Amino acid sequence: MDRSIATILYVAFLGLIVVFATFSRVSANAEGDALNALRTNLVDPNNVLQSWDSTLVNPCTWFHVTCNNENSVTRVDLGNANLSGQLVPNLGQLPNLQYLELYSNNIGGGIPSELGNLVQLVSLDLYLNILNGPIPDTLGRLQRLRFLYGFLFVELFNSVFALWVGYFHSEIGGIVRLPFELCRRLNNNSLSGQIPMSLTTIGNLQVLDLSHNQLTGPTPVNGSFQLFTPISFADNNLIPPPVSPTPPVSPTTPSPSGVGNSATGAIAGGVAAGAALLFAAPAIALALYRRRKPQDYFFDVPAEEDPEVHLGQLKRFSLRELQVASDNFSNKNILGRGGFGKVYKGRLADGTLVAIKRLKEERTQGGELQFQTEVEMISMAVHRNLLRLRGFCMTPTERLLVYPYMANGSVASCLRERPDSQPPLDWPIRQRIALGSARGLAYLHDHCDPKIIHRDVKAANILLDEDFEAVVGDFGLARLMDYKDTHVTTAVRGTIGHIAPEYLSTGKSSEKTDVFGYGVMLLELITGQRAFDLARLANDDDVMLLDWVKGLLTEKKLETLVDADLNSYIDEEVEKLIQIALLCTQSSSTERPKMSEVVRMLEGDGLAERWEEWQKEEMFRQEPHYMPHPNTDWIIADSTSNIRPDELSGPR
């Protein structure tokens, strides 16, 4: 009997497993079919949707699609992908969809009423499209949408019918700056039909602009629509709301004198004129704005927050969030520019300052997965002297990395671009920078698996936090920018004057490549000068900092070598740092110390022995057949040759 019961329970258990598996498969199939219907209805000239394979049961393996643990689609990211065509009703068959990002495309047609079935939707972003037709009243069902920004609770700016912006009392807040020309385009669409009454139930709605469309029917006046003036509905075919009756005026005792009657008339006239001016003010302001140079519009909106954790502890930012943070990547927010792209200062919705690196390499098919892999590798390098990656953004056409903002800039900017009000870096701080940056590089070489080769170590890539602690930035980017190729190293990346000779001649990098760049960076710290400077030719000096320093050492001119801004330093300590720099910049990579050895030498262990060996070998290097390459051999031309050498990878 017991055996029979056990058998029955076992069979029932197997049945549940089969049912669950079948349900999961059917669910994945249904959602995959819905997304495939969207793909079929869209024109995709850039093959962004190439990975959307209809033969695969699970769409969670497709690029630009994110799923939860139950293999149900929660996010679709197709912003700025140059897609055209129309949306499909099948999108309403994604029951767990939270983020639908279709901004900056050329999608036309109407808004499917089935979008009202996406009751889990948190963000609907359709701005900058060419949608038309009526506004579905089913959108009133989307009660989980957190905020009104653009068309609906999120960003449906130009694509739909209006600018709707909500001002909210939430834990997330921020400022969006939009050029006025963009704002002027928000309301000029071809939307028709009546304004759905269901939209009046959105209690947080504070600003509404449905002007310059083809809307008909009555103008709602109930609910949140009570807040809006006629200018919100201008240039439509709407029936104006009934005029509210004027409240009865309490009888007053007439003034016995003509002066009193005159004053009453003046007051009444003033009130009438003021009211007329009040109603005319928006139109006057609009006309003046159109005649003036476009200015910035400000709207208070919360930032889009992704509830899921992407790639460990990294936050995946939306492109719109980073556009908002950086004033749409305004030139005034550029912190630096170089071989990897531009870096912008940004302020997130919670007020946090960040540095946004906008990578400029062209994208190729299949690069998304490799990009995510490299980003994850970078994020795992956590050390006090390494700039920690905070988050990233990936779209079909954009790759962005988000880092903490370093208040004191880079070592290069503090050495050569500081304002007069800022004191120069003193000698103890420079010593700390040397040790901290060495520790950061040693961690990349010895404690990361796989090891990370920086390939562009220089003063501009050593950042300083609020305590002037050295933080190595830009590590992992050289490999990250090679993700589209099969080789680890596909191009010589670096800055003139910092590039190791073997890397320049063979294109093969190693940790000793970083050691060479670090040695040149030490010379920057000591001298305050650039690694490559044509201005030195005016004094018949070497353009390469390394050769210039060697020449001065031969002539025993230490005082000429040290940065003129250094008012106080100890000769022995300067000599020690110069010795380490020369050990690091030996022409033979095998003779250079490892970064871990450099750390020990900076801490006072082993320098004397290494320096004695170097001096003996240096006598042989002076022979003609050991002479280093001529200076001109170090000067390379690359795709960034139009940028000043010290800015090839830019301050971070």
Measured in degrees and rounded to the nearest 5, phi and psi for residue 66 equal -120, 140
CB atoms < 10 A from the CB of 637, how many? 8
> What number of CA atoms fall less than 13 Å from residue 529's CA on the CB side?
23
Catalytic residue among 125, 306, 456, 646: 456
Secondary structure percentages of the chain, helix, strand, coil, to 5: 40, 15, 45
The three-class DSSP label of residue 447 is coil
Of 61, 64, 65, nearest to 94 by C-alpha is 65
Long-range contacts of residues 612-618, Cβ cutoff 8 Å, at least 24 apart: 614/579, 614/582, 614/583, 614/586, 617/591
On the 0-12 / 13-18 / 19+ scale of CB atoms within 10 A, 490 is middle
* 3 state DSSP class of 192: strand
DSSP letter at 579 equals H
User: What's the sign of the alpha-carbon dihedral 610, 613, 619, 623?
Assistant: negative
**Relative orientation angle of helices 427-446 and 511-527, to the nearest 10 degrees:** 170
Please identify which residue in the block is written with the tokens 């106080």: 568
Distance CA 265, CA 270 (A): 8
357 is in an annotated binding site: yes
Backbone φ and ψ for 480, nearest 5 degrees, come out as -60, -40
Residue 652 CB-half CA count within 13 A: 32
Task: Tell which residue, 116, 127, 102, has the closest CA to residue 42.
Answer: 102
Please confirm, yes or no, whether 456 is among the known catalytic residues: yes
Active-site residues, by number, are 456
Annotated binding site for ATP: 357
